[in-house]
Amino acid sequence: MQLHRPTILNKAAKKLASPLSFVAGSKWLRTPFRVVDAYLNFLVGKGSGTGWDLSLEVNSALSRVYSESPVLFDIGANLGLWSKAVLEAVPRARLFLFEPSPGCQAEIRRQALPYEALIPAAVGRKPGRASLHFSSPIDGSASLYQRGDSYFRDRAYDSIEVEVVTIDSMIEQHRLEFIDFIKMDIEGNELEALLGAETALAGRRIGALAFEFGSSNINSRTFFRDFWSLLTARGFALSRITPSGRLLPITAYYEDCEYFRGATNYLAELKDHPRRKAR
């Protein structure tokens, strides 16, 4: 397989690779090169993570909402900050918050947000029970998977058993016809949550959604390719959310998307979104 055409530039790059590799591999430059590499990736949204700029993150979501009283799922609500920001921008939004941590549930209730419902459960592929691992009562890194990623290796985690529900079952239970937007920040369990929305996805009853991908997916053994295959097959177009809030379209799968440093936020929208077309 020919990866590169033998242009003058490619030939020059090949000649320079050996001496530059020697320099870059020196103990004096390894750390600076690693920092520069991380920063350059950060600028295009790789590893920029949830919470980098909450207002921009919310604006990116709301740019794909085409109703004055949209139905929104905040899956992995934590302290409810995303939902609070959404309600400030769209007061008539019907918000359903999903949060399995009792400590976070108490904080959400304390704020008395005008949400439609607070569902005290994790979200997955099938209903049931699972272990939630957490390092504090309001831990934003709480996960259904034991944390093995390096950023969290020095934390001590406890576990409790929590209820697991599915997106499909919640749509049915609350008699919802259409979900305008789903935000998912559930530390590696995002793919399982989407697999629990098979009926809604097949019926084109979810207009748009956002999910994280990064180091937590090492723990759940999931790849970006899994998200790409699932969502594009169901008519979604995917974009990466950058720190500026700008969306960078992902028009084809490529292995560089398998980026496990930090967390990268992606947005997916139905190509033939019924409410966008009617607007």
Q: What is the pLDDT of residue 2?
A: 46
For the residues 80-96, what does the mean pLDDT come to? 96
Q: Are the C-beta atoms of 258 and 225 separated by less than 8 Å?
A: yes
Q: What is the pLDDT of residue 20?
A: 60
Partners of 75 in beta bridges: 98, 184
According to DSSP, residue 53 is labeled: S
133 or 10, greater pLDDT = 133
Alpha helices in 30-71 (DSSP H): 30-43, 54-62
Question: How far from 10 is each of 14, 17, 19, 124, 210, CA to CA, in Å?
Answer: 6, 10, 15, 47, 38
CA distance 42 to 214: 12
CA distance 65 to 76: 20
Q: What is the pTM of this model?
A: 0.90
Q: Is the dihedral of CA 136, 141, 145, 148 positive or negative?
A: negative
Flag whether pLDDT at 279 surpasses 80: no
CA distance 223 to 146: 17
Residue-wise pLDDT for 27-66, tens only, equals 666 677 777 778 888 788 888 876 667 888 899 999 999 9
Q: What is the pLDDT of residue 38?
A: 80
167 CB-near residues (< 8 Å, 6+ apart): 73, 75, 123, 179, 182, 193, 194, 196, 197, 200
Q: What is the pLDDT of residue 92?
A: 97
Q: Which residue has the tokens 């748009």?
A: 208
Flag whether pLDDT at 16 surpasses 60: yes
Q: What is the pLDDT of residue 124?
A: 98
Residue-wise pLDDT for 164-221, tens only, equals 999 999 999 999 999 999 999 999 999 999 999 999 999 999 999 999 999 999 999 9
Residue-wise pLDDT for 238-269, tens only, equals 999 998 888 999 999 999 999 999 899 999 99
Assign domain 47-278 one CATH number from 3.40.50.300, 3.40.50.150, 3.30.56.10, 3.60.15.10. 3.40.50.150
83 CB-near residues (< 8 Å, 6+ apart): 72, 74, 77, 95, 97, 113, 115
Q: Are the C-beta atoms of 83 and 115 separated by less than 8 Å?
A: yes
